[in-house]
Structure 1
């Protein structure tokens, strides 16, 4: 059952990679057995990833999206930003800034969000090493969250986060001069709060994301 679950999520993975994922989760199984089950379940005949629907917006916390951005401080030091948004409310759930961002930092941010918010059923991500890491894969499995990976070369699979990152770039990163890592954190967080609480969004009837999240329309979809 777990092999079929992994195969459904990682549609481009053959039995060897799926075997590695099973071993990471603690399954004491050899590659030959995985191959036998893989053939018996006809997983080698999986079709290509189906065409995505226009949107997965159904209700709050059904679907989130994550992505990374890069920028630099005034002295040229590189920084990275992890952005997380809710597809339904368009809320910016987090913009985490750091100089090194790996899988464990991604998990830490998600665990912080889980303290105040219900975890989603699905999180859309690309195939970057932070999102395909063992620690994030284990966290998602333990929390019943599906990592929905974009198809290689198809950024439109995660179009909303790409659009959101464009707003972050134009309205925050390009408009500010970051003197330090702490300065970058303060300024991006101030922009995130303003985005959620004041910036009108045409897809939300020109409401700000926070207003939409607390509106009657959003409540009916819970």
Structure 2
């Protein structure tokens, strides 16, 4: 993950450092840290990463993504799908014409009140999943967002 000084400030604040954002920026710059332009994709195979832990029970790991379709009228439809990777139970299958980060949070909050909160949610790098609303929701409820790594396929993520 690449973090800018603002994200570093939020993480430090959550750990109780209580540090001013201007000081974080100054130290960030002194250390030579900065968000660089994305490098081109490597032609060589990525080095092996640690395997993700398998789900050991219900509500342990959920996988979440969007499915897209189009109506006969040409209007596009997005379906938020959430799957419990242990039991294959689908707590959410919610279709809408547009989905934003706060819509995902509202849907998850509604569903989790009835089924319980998962320990981990596996998501991709979609704008709805990396939003501030989603990050804050997960932090406040003790849910870990496990972002997919570049080069992973859907099949690898769900297993």
**TM-score class, shorter:** 0.7 to 0.9
SS in 2 for 1:141: helix
TM-score by length of 2: 0.74
2:76 is matched with 78
Secondary structure of the residue aligned to 1:106 is helix
Question: Aligned-pair distance for 1:72?
Answer: 1.2
How many residues were matched structurally? 141
Q: CA deviation at 1:114?
A: 1.6
Question: Normalising by the residue count of structure 1, what TM-score does the alignment of the two structures yield?
Answer: 0.55
Note the aligned Cα RMSD (angstroms): 3.2
Structure number with higher strand proportion: 2
Structure 2 residue runs of 5 or longer lacking an equivalent are 34-46
The answer (yes or no) to whether the contact 1:24–1:134 under 8 Å persists in 2 is no
What are the within-5 Å matches in structure 2 for residues 61-76 of structure 1?
Answer: 61-76=59-74
1:115 CA drift (Å): 1.6
Q: Name the residue aligned to 1:143.
A: 141
Distance 1:18 1:82, change over 3 A: same
In 2: Cα distance, 1:142 partner to 1:125 partner: 18
SS state at 1:71 partner:
strand
For residues 54-203 of structure 1, the aligned pairs below 5 Å read 56-156=54-154, 159-160=157-158
Which has more radius of gyration?
Answer: 1
- Rounded to whole Å, the distance in 2 between the matches of 1:129 and 1:20 is 21
**Which structure would you say has the larger RCO, counting Cα contacts within 8 Å and 6 or more residues apart?**
1
C-alpha deviation, 1:57, in angstroms = 1.7
SS in structure 1 of the partner of residue 8 of structure 2 = helix
3-state SS of paired residue (1:116): helix
- Which structure: greater helix fraction? 1
1:140/1:157 CA distance change after superposition, 3 Å = farther
